[in-house]
Chains A and B, each alone.
Chain A
Amino acid sequence: MFDKILPYLLAGISVGGQYALIAVGYTMVYGILRLINFAHGDIFTAAGFFMVYITASLPMGISIPLVIVLTVALGFVLERVAYKPLRTAPRMSVMISAIGASYLMQNLMWYVTGGLAKQYPVLPWLSDSVQIGSASTKVVSIVTPILTVALVVALVMLIKHTKIGMAMRAVSVDFETSQLMGIRINSVISMTFIIGSALAAVGSMLFFTSYSTVTPTVGAMPGLKAFVAAVFGGIGSIPGAVIGAFIIGIAENLIKAAGYTAFSDAFTFVLLIIVLLFKPTGLFGEAAAEKV
């Protein structure tokens, strides 16, 4: 029995880690701007394409850091172009801008790639096979949860114990008073997009090592699920997003193990509906998230 479930469990933990790395980007941006950054999934996809194109001409050792840098730059530019000019606008305007930015990026990717699925390069070592008990899996499934937890712990430490982290916490509750302290709101907001995009870039490397082809809309599904994970965990809460992501990843794969593969996606979205109906603040969310 356990032997039969083990591979699904491993896959679930691995997928959960990938969702978690994306979900942190959603939840951090929401924590500061009270904005669902709909373009976050497209940043994740773009990171996949960056890797495809860059590895075509550069060695892996340069490509990996370069992909992270480019993804971060993309996240930074997205915020400056699509969100910063709307800082004092009603939240609905910013949300519409986010949706627009998402479609723009998707269509740009169609245009550049011609809409054809691109083969994701094989990352050395991560794609090797390992044997765990009776299950055979790729190294990436083992690395993903460890790397995810390490990155998230580092991030939580940064937010709790550094000056910029303190500024982030301050800005998340009160823009105006933060300014009176001499904090540059825009730098703090940029920082959250930079961190979120960097994690999405790492997430995309782990994700595409398992899924191997990149299309312009491939980020939509993991992006949506990471969003559900962030809501489930309590949007604005980083530990919540991570725990929510692992729960969703594992549950989806256990449902597959039980033979109901067709329902694994449905499960995630039913979960979203249930959370929104019965506990909209999620597992760890604050009671009053409304920004004054």
Chain B
Amino acid sequence: MSLLYIKDLRVNYGGIEAIKGISLTVEKGEIVTLIGANGAGKSTTLRAISGLVPLRDGTITYDGQVISGQSPQKIVSEGIGMVPEGRRVFPNLTVLENLRIGAYLRKDDLTPDIDHVYQLFPRLKERSWQPAGTLSGGEQQMLAVGRAMMMRPKLLMMDEPSLGLAPLVIRDIFRIIEKLHEEGITILLVEQNANAALRIADSAYVLETGSITMHGTGEELLSNPKVKEAYLGKSRSST
């Protein structure tokens, strides 16, 4: 049984139909990526899954239960974590508080989880007492990932984690995504950086103006001429 199953999802956003009936499946333990241009509806799809925007139609099933129509709090508590677009760390909270608030619904001891995040991101440990607003973009992205991990999600959704970061930092972020994957976390990754995303993805969907136009394994889409032309840039399609 798949961990996440979306069927005929339709979402209206800002008066237009942003998602026009998409279906997609995320198997347990996979990295699934959703690529597409700006405004294709990638973020809206994630926001719909996490309960932030209402569905117009369709169902979202997670771990055998229908979660569409539930509150974001309920959906988080079921084990769906989110690294939102633009990182959205709480700038007025310290790094440590940002991690603690990621585990807001937990009542047990957080120390092992905090240690684990600090082990993955030693830079955050050094800055534990700093307000998150003083961190660099890359550090904030790491914090956003660490914060989402504090809830011990089974499914981690990441919205454009590479956005606005330097190439070296992007490499770090993708290395971390693979590491989380090795730890057994299922990942749903939304990216404009299609090349990097497809390389690590088990399964991939191409979203264009609210509809899924292509689906395959990461490798299949990487070598697909249409994907090459539209999303991977000319320099790569010529090689």
Contacts and interface: CB of A to CB of B under 8 A. Distances in A.
Contacts of A259: none
Contacts of A128: none
A93 interface: no
B72 A180 contact: yes
A176 B53 CA distance: 10
Contacts of A179: 51-52, 72-73
A87 to B, nearest CB: 13
A183 B104 contact: yes
Contact of A163 (B52, B104, B147): B104
Contacts of A70: none
A173 B147 CA distance: 16
A166 B101 contact: yes
A183 B90 CA distance: 13
A200 to B, nearest CB: 26
Given A167-B104, A177-B88, A182 B73 contact: yes
B82 interface: yes
B84 A177 contact: yes
A273 to B, nearest CB: 30
A226 interface: no
B76 interface: yes
Contact of A182 (B76, B84, B92, B93): B76
A163 B51 CA distance: 23
B97 A181 contact: no
A182 B77 CA distance: 7
Given A166-B97, A182-B151, A177 B90 contact: yes
Chain B, interface size: which category?
A: 20 to 34
Contacts, number: 52
B100 interface: yes
B165 interface: no
The interface size bin for chain A is: 10 to 19
Contacts of A183: 73, 101, 104
Interface string B78-107: 000010100010111100010011101100
A43 interface: no
Given A176-B52, A177-B84, A182 B104 contact: yes
A170 interface: yes
B68 interface: no
B50 interface: yes
Given A176-B52, A180-B50, A182-B151, A169 B92 contact: yes
Given A174-B88, A176-B52, A181 B104 contact: yes
B72 A170 contact: no
B114 to A, nearest CB: 15
12 contacts: A166-B97, A173-B91, A174-B88, A176-B52, A177-B88, A180-B52, A181-B104, A181-B147, A182-B76, A182-B104, A182-B151, A183-B73
Interface of B: 50-52, 72-73, 76-77, 82, 84, 88, 90-93, 97, 100-102, 104-105, 147, 151
9 closest A-B pairs (Cβ-Cβ)? Answer: A182-B105, A179-B72, A177-B88, A182-B76, A181-B104, A182-B104, A182-B73, A170-B90, A180-B82
